[in-house]
Amino acid sequence: MTPPWPHPIIAREGWPFVGIALAVSILVFFFLGAWWSAPFWLATVFILQFFRDPPRETPDDPAAVVSPADGRIVEVSRSHDPYLKREALKVSVFMNVFNVHSNRAPADGTVKERWYFGGAFVNAALDKASSANERNALWIQRDDGQDLTCVQVAGLIARRILCYVEPGARLVRGQRFGFIRFGSRVDLYLPPDAQAKAAIGERVYAAHSVLAWLKTPSSKTR
């Protein structure tokens, strides 16, 4: 499914960073020469790749839960959802500084609640980051009543979690809803009868990779 909303080549959150880096690189090049400007051009290239925001094809299957982030799967386990106070299937995606950092909706649904917690900035690849770090959680309820919790977690050098939706907002699977700057993690808490597809160590892509299948009247045995 092609997304019905535009995707800029560079995420809007990165425009000021890209502009400043480009301006500094040009000034150093003209006043000090190519060799002195080389590190600044490298920094500009790094910033450009960090803030890239490519469009993605989203699976059409309504039972599919897609990844909310690019990165590597670091946890697939039966866990306790601390936000909805229930048992859940937990799937966690770790984003390093070379991954796309736009966050996308894992499923169609309505945002029922949003929670923000301040916290520490330990390595986001560690399990304790889910409860110790700064984080922003969204409770998303599908039209069939199934609940998902999507949690943006700051990392070791991440210092800004951005979320653009509030309770009552309608999300379409694959829709961009937030951004985390510089290395982070996203946790998904799914209904306990969801069937995990992702495996630890697997590389996944936001809005495109299927992390799990939800049980619905129309879903097939997988």
pTM over 0.95: no
Cβ contacts of 39 within 8 Å, gap of 6 or more = none
Please identify which of the residues 79, 130, 184, 209 carries the catalytic annotation: 184
Side-chain-side CA neighbours of 29 within 13 Å: the count stands at 13
Q: What is the DSSP letter of 10?
A: B
pLDDT attached to residue 195: 94
**Residue 217 pLDDT class (50, 70, 90 cuts):** low
Residue 133 has pLDDT above 50, yes or no: yes
Contacts of 27 (CB under 8 A, 6+ apart): none
Q: Which two tokens stand for residue 43?
A: 């920094």
| E strand map for 105-183 | 109-117, 135-141, 147-154, 161-163, 170-171, 176-180
* 184 in catalytic set: yes
β-strands 170-171, 109-117: how paired? antiparallel
pLDDT at residue 84 in the model: 96
> In the chain, which residue ranges form alpha helices assigned H by DSSP?
15-32, 34-50, 129-132
What are 35-86's pLDDT values in tens digits?
Answer: 988 988 999 988 887 788 888 889 889 899 999 999 999 999 999 999 999 9
Angstrom distance (rounded) from CA 180 to CA 209 = 19
Entry field: residues in the chain: 222
Token output for 201: 């160590």
For 179-208, what is each residue's pLDDT tens digit? 887 668 899 999 999 999 999 999 999 999
What local confidence, expressed as pLDDT, does residue 173 receive? 93
